[in-house]
Amino acid sequence: MIAVRALGTLLIGSLVAIILAGSARAANEVIIYSFGKVRGDGKNPSAGLIGVGGTLYGTTLYGGIYGKGAVFSVKGTGVENVLHSFGNGNDGAHPANGLINVDGTLYGTTTASAPTGRGTVFSVTLSGTERVLHVFGLGKDGAVPGATLINLGNTLYGTTFDGGALDKGTVFSLTTAGAETVLHSFGSGNDGSYPYAGLVVVDGTLYGTTEDGIYNAGAVFKVTTAGVETVLHSFSFYNDGQYPLAGLINVGGILYGTTQAGGSGSTSSGTVFRVTTAGAENVVYNFVNGKNYEDGYYPTAGLVDVDGTLYGTTEYGGTYNGGTVFSVTTAGVEKVLYSFGNGSDGYYPAAGLVHIGNAFYGTTQQGGEYGFGTIFKVTP
C-alpha cells in the first residue's frame, strides 16, 4: 500500500550504471552520479539528500549487496560509497525516504523489516555502522514509516503510513535510545488517515499531511507533542488539490506544500498550496497536464525555500515528460528550471531538493547511463 503513487513508476531494470561526474546535460544541470556502476551499488533512489561536511548522504530503495536498499555517500566529484546495505538479517529493507543528521549520526526509516515486515527506524554512523532502533508492527505502534524523521529536543518524530489503533497510520516519537511512543492514531472520525509525509515544527507544534481525509483527498493536520491532534484543512477532489504526499515547510509562519493531483481546471495535475496555522488554505499554483506537459505535473515531493522563492520537482512533465525542477514565487509565478528525460540525465524525480551554496541537489528514480537513477545538480 505504501507509496503506490510515489513509487509506482519504478521499472526495475537489469542494466549497470556508470559515474558521470561533471558530465553536463544542459547549461544548468550536471549528473554527479549514476547508480549501478559496481556490484552491490544502490539502485532507484526515491529519497532526497542531505549535506554533512561537504558530502551528500542518501538512501536507495533497491540495490545494495542484498538488493533491499542502501545508505550511501557521494562527493561532489562523483565518488560514491555504499555505507550500509539492507537485508542482511533484521536490519530493515527498502528505505523510501531520506536521512537526518543528529550530532554526526544519521537517522532514517525503512518501509519493510524482518520479522514483522512493517518497517524500522535505524541509525547509521558516517563510517557505516548501522543499528536498528525500533521495529514496527509488534503491536499497535504503527507500520510502514515512509517519511523522513525530524529532531526536536533530541527526540525523533515521524509518521507511519499504516498501523496504529485503527490501522490508518500514526504520529510517533522515538528517543535515540529506541523508546517509542504513539502520539496519535489516525482514522477516528474526520482526523485524516494514511500520513505518507513527514512533519515540520512551528512553535513547538508538529504539522503534517495525510493522503486521505473527509473528502478522500487528504488533509493538513497539527498535533502537539502530547498527542492532541487537530485537522486544519481537508482537501477536495478539485479546486484545492488532492493527495498531499509531501511534507510542509514553514515560510514566515505560513505553511507551504504540494498536492500530487487535483487543482482547478479539468486537466490540472497537482498544486502548490499554502495554509495558515489557523487553517486558511489557498492554491498558489496549478500544474496543468496539457499543453505538452511543459510546466510539469504530479509534484510528489515537498518544497525548499530560498529567499522567499520556492523550489521543487515534478515527477512527470516538462519538455521530455521525464519530470522537472521548478521554481514558484509565493505570488504564483512558476518557472521550469530543468526538464529531465533528454538522454542519460535521469528521469522521474520523486524526491525534493537540497540547497547547498548556489545550487540544488536531488535524485531521480530512474534513468542515468544505465537506468538505475541519478544524483544531479541544478544551478539556476
Point out the least confidently predicted range of 8-17, 126-135, 361-370.
8-17
Torsion, Cα of 181, 187, 191, 193 (10° steps): 90
Question: Would you say residue 81 has pLDDT above 60?
Answer: yes
Core vs surface per residue 190-223: b (16+ CB within 10 A) or e: ebbbbbbbbbbeeeeebbbbbbbbbeebbbbbbb
Candidates 377, 369, 344; CA nearest to 36 is 369
Three cell numbers written together for 5:
503513487
- At 259-308, the pLDDT tens digits run 999 988 666 799 999 999 999 999 999 998 656 678 899 999 999 999 99
Q: Average pLDDT, stretch 234-255?
A: 92
Question: Would you say residue 119 has pLDDT above 80?
Answer: yes
3-state helix, strand, coil in the chain (%, to 5): 0, 45, 55
Question: Would you say residue 39 has pLDDT above 60?
Answer: yes
Report the pLDDT value the prediction gives residue 291, as an integer from 0 to 100. 62
Report the pLDDT value the prediction gives residue 290, as an integer from 0 to 100. 59
Three cell numbers written together for 261:
493531483
Residue type, 5: R
Q: Which residues does residue 45 pair with via DSSP β-bridges, in sequence order? A: none
3-state secondary structure at position 169: coil
- 159 membership: H or E segment, kind and range: strand 155-160
Distances (CA, A) of 130 to 120, 127, 286: 12, 9, 42
Candidates 347, 297, 315; CA nearest to 25 is 347
Core vs surface per residue 134-173: b (16+ CB within 10 A) or e: bbbbeeebbbbbbbbbbeeeeebbbbbbbbbbebbbbbbb
Q: Which residues does residue 23 pair with via DSSP β-bridges, in sequence order? A: 31
Cα–Cα distance for residue pair 212/168, rounded to 1 Å: 9
Is 34 in contact with 27 (CB distance < 8 Å)? no
The residues, ordered by sequence, that sit 6+ positions from 217 with a Cβ below 8 Å of its Cβ are 234, 235, 236, 237, 241, 242, 243, 262
Point out the least confidently predicted range of 124-138, 230-244, 285-299, 306-320.
285-299
Cα–Cα distance for residue pair 69/51, rounded to 1 Å: 20
3-state secondary structure at position 193: strand
- At 174-215, the pLDDT tens digits run 999 999 999 999 998 789 999 999 999 999 999 999 999 999
Is 326 in contact with 288 (CB distance < 8 Å)? no
Q: What is the pTM of this model?
A: 0.91
Core vs surface per residue 268-297: b (16+ CB within 10 A) or e: bbbbbbbbebeeebebbbbbbbeeebebbb
- 120 membership: H or E segment, kind and range: strand 120-125
What are the residue boundaries of the structural domains of the chain, listed by start?
4-378
Is 86 in contact with 94 (CB distance < 8 Å)? yes
Pick the CATH number of 4-378 from 3.20.20.100, 1.10.150.530, 3.40.640.10, 2.130.10.10: 2.130.10.10
Query: Taking the CA of residue 36 as centre, how many other CA atoms within 13 Å lie in the half-sphere pointing to its CB?
Result: 23
Question: Would you say residue 156 has pLDDT above 70?
Answer: yes
